[in-house]
A and B are shown apart, each in its own frame.
Chain A
Amino acid sequence: MILLENVSKTFQADGKVVEAVKNVNLSLREGKIHGIIGFSGAGKSTLVRCINLLERPTEGKVILGDVEITALDEKELREERKKIGMIFQQFNLFASRTVFQNIAYPLKNSGLSRNEVENKVNYLLELVELKEKSGAYPSQLSGGQKQRVAIARALANDPKILLSDEATSALDPQTTKSILKLLKQLNEKLGITVIVITHEMQVVKEICDNVVVMENGRVVEQGDVFSIFANPVEKITKDFVDSTSNLTKVHELINENAEIVRLKEGECILKFTYLKRDASEALVSHISRSFELDVNIIFGNIELIGSYPIGGLISVVSGRESSINDAINYLREKNVGVEVILDARVSK
């Protein structure tokens, strides 16, 4: 368990006091992938640096497993840091060292013989699929390859925790995907706890088990990724969730009075969203049959989180008003969120 107790960090710059992290309490389970999401300036980078004490919290305790890291002296802290790998947005590789030498950097003074170091580095290179780049210099690598080297270097001392500070933010979408996949594989293969800092909900959706939402230095919401996506509570969380889906586009279409959302009498636009994990029934065809409704899906966005579908559908539903109401009630009982977006129902 990674425990942060009442962690606060304030900076003093030019006479101004900046509270980057305010009274954060977190407990992060080992072996999972945790996402910390927030806009820039939310304090997430500072918070993650409080875990390996690159920033020492002004107040509070940080406990990793059974070690209270905030109580260690400098020398003990350095030893402890070897068990916490970290990767960065700008990779931070040593330009004067080859890929091999970069990965071997943290292995100095580790008591390994030269042969053992070589084997270890080769194993790590294989792990990140960069075997053939061993002798290259960082400047000869692409962004994705650089981040792979950085990951291998961060793993050199067999850490239990891997901190990732916006590690994919400087990469293109495809490379981002492959790096995220690698992090997921490492988590599964090595059982390493991964803490991912990001401002993109897509990253959280892709690999995280749990998510912590930060705003103005505070943790405003946290939970497992599925429930956060299904039932976001805070406004900022909703904004982040919406940013990964195109369902909000319907409001734009309505504002523009687009053809597709112009309703005839007796029709309404409904948004269905999955709220629970077991939404595998054929609900759309069921309501259209049982309640004699026409359901025309105008667009949808359904993805899998873990192995559960999340997202929703926007549909134009037409039929008798009472039948529509019955269908809405039926769906709500089945744990489907229903929101009436535009209403042209007529009571007969």
Chain B
Amino acid sequence: MQEFLSSVFPNVFSKLPDFFESIVETFIMLGWSGSISFVIGIILGIILTVTKKGGIIQNIAVFQVLDKIINFFRSIPFIILLAGVMPLTRLISGTAIGVEGAIVPLVFGTVPFFARQIETALAEMNPGLIEAAQSMGSGPLEIIFRVYLRECIPGIVRGTTITAISLIGLTAMAGAVGAGGLGDFAIRFGYQRNQIDVTYASVIVLVALVSIIQMIGSAIVRKNSH
């Protein structure tokens, strides 16, 4: 088996530790920027939902400002954002290069997209449920936590799955600031040195990763849809 693999992926096998390290780097970037984006994105998505016209704590000013900021960041290509937020990255992470340097731009690239996913997921809920909750004496916080976040779990999980998969795409670009990761590994060896088997190996790992995320997401959705 090992012989077969090393004959198909000769260049990967010659730098196996680097290959594994790049996988770990991808996981680190995904883990950190994913969990930070998840929390911030859900908060922003909720704020969008409850402050918009007809929302449970309607506040047009807050909504408009947030809405415009999200649009602004969504329209910036990630590779430009990466360089654009460097000063802020230095301020927060202490460095603008490496894995730590990639997390801040990854969060900036992911949060606006994810906030929209959450907004969409929450908007799909039957507004009658809010009315029912209000008629039972629930306040805004109770409606957010016991109605929105509970009833919309399938939609939120779907949005999270989509966002996580697109985040994997973004981590490949983070190689540009020396963050490493599978994408960077594939470009450096597979593309620049024409070691095509490195590209294939990286792609196989990424495909596996995306499939696993999608499977987990679908399983959670299935379990929470009644």
Contact = CB atoms under 8 A, between A and B. Distances in A.
Interface string A127-147: 000000000011110000000
A86 interface: yes
Contacts of B138: 78, 106
Given A88-B128, A92-B128, A92-B131, A82 B226 contact: no
Interface in A89-134: 90, 92-97, 105-106, 108
Interface stretch (B98-106, B146-154, B199-207, B208-216): B146-154
A54 B136 contact: no
A88 B128 CA distance: 8
Contacts of A137: 226
Contact of A92 (B129, B137, B146, B226): B129
Contact of B136 (A96, A97, A106): A106
Q: A86, A140, A156: which has the most chain B beta carbons within 10 Å? A: A86
B147 to A, nearest CB: 7
Contacts of B128: 88, 90, 92
B126 interface: yes
Given A94-B150, A95-B151, A105-B146, A138 B226 contact: yes
A150 B131 CA distance: 13
B94 interface: no
Contacts of A156: 136
Nearest to B154: A96
Interface string A46-80: 00000010100000000000000000001100111
A42 interface: no
B147 A94 contact: yes
A84 B226 contact: no
Interface residues on B, range: 10 to 19
B134 interface: yes
B207 to A, nearest CB: 32
A54 B133 CA distance: 11
Contacts of B137: 78-82, 106, 157
Contact of A96 (B131, B139, B151): B151
Contacts of A81: 134-137
A88 B131 contact: yes
A105 B129 contact: no
A153 B136 contact: yes
Nearest to B139: A78
Contacts of A138: 226
A54 B135 CA distance: 7
Contacts of A95: 151, 226
A96 B135 contact: no
Contacts of A108: 146
B139 A92 contact: no
B71 interface: no
B132 A92 contact: yes
Contacts of A90: 126, 128
Nearest to B131: A54
A106 B135 CA distance: 10
Interface string B29-70: 000000000000000000000000000000000000000000
Interface string B98-135: 00000000000000000000000000001011011111
A139 B225 CA distance: 10
A94 B135 contact: no
B6 interface: no
Contacts of B129: 92, 94
Nearest to B147: A94
Contacts of A139: 226
22 contacts: A54-B134, A74-B139, A78-B139, A79-B137, A80-B137, A81-B134, A81-B136, A81-B137, A84-B135, A86-B132, A88-B131, A88-B132, A92-B131, A92-B132, A93-B132, A94-B151, A96-B151, A96-B153, A106-B137, A108-B146, A137-B226, A154-B136
Interface of A: 52, 54, 74-75, 78-82, 84-86, 88, 90, 92-97, 105-106, 108, 137-140, 150, 153-154, 156-157, 163
List the 6 closest pairs (A to B, CB-CB), nearest first: A137-B226, A92-B132, A86-B135, A92-B128, A106-B136, A82-B137
